[in-house]
Amino acid sequence: MVALIPFLLTALIYSLVAIDFWRSVKTSDPASRRKLHSRVLAIGLLLHAGLLYNAMFTEGLNLSFDNALSAIAWLTVLIYWVNNLRYPLQSLQAFVLPPAAFFVLLQYGMHENHVLPYLGNPLFMTHLVIAILAYSLFTFAALHAGLMAFAERKLHQKSSLSRLPEFPPIIVMEKLLFRVIALGFFLLTLTLLSGALFSEQIFGQALKFNHKNLFAIISWLVYGGLLLGRQAYGWRGKTAIRWTLSGFVILLLAYAGTKFVLEVLLNR
């Protein structure tokens, strides 16, 4: 029971910050509470980081399905927190924190073990770190694309169930989206290349044909096509949102989907 306390505390911090944000939207200027939210969220991030370290690095490297989701959630919240120091993205917080709180509790509830081999291989560790960073950037991009969809809906005065204040101009949101996607695409490219090199080194085959590699390559083509369309044809708005979300769903099938099938459904 004692072991549950830090998980509950972290999830509670994430949840309370999100709840207070929505409450402040209805009662006062949410900007007045921005510093308080940032400080409290920093505590939650530190606690979450400690939980991840204990769960993932106590005995080798445990990258189970629940740990992977929790790590991605932590990095996504961290990316949001850092970007919020420059851009007024408090609204995104309402979407990021509740899932992060859920994944923290899921990490405690599932507590699966999936210790990875080849931890002494520098190429494998490089590949793993780059892959997690790329995945987290695209998670952030997908959430931001969802926020842009709400912003455009509000801009065109369509009814919305949520009030999302303090939107920066759409063009600013688009610039941030494409910066994140460009960095994520670069890291995803390195992920595919380092994965191919590692596979060649260990298995004597640069590219194994499986669902993970297939979906990863398709998502790489989708994001590459989006960046090319942006550069050549000025794609923006709904087109950018659709391509961003499509690429993320495909990437989700490549990584989280594969781990879910193998570890949860097939129990491997």
- For 101-145, write each residue's pLDDT tens digit: 999 999 888 766 655 665 666 777 788 888 888 888 898 898 889
Q: Which residue bears the tokens 């949840």?
A: 15
- For 145-161, write each residue's pLDDT tens digit: 988 887 777 766 655 44
Query: pTM for the complete prediction?
Result: 0.77
DSSP state of 263: I
DSSP state of 245: H
Beta-carbon contacts of 79 under 8 Å, excluding residues fewer than 6 positions away, are 136, 137, 140, 180
Contact 102, 50 (CB under 8 A): no
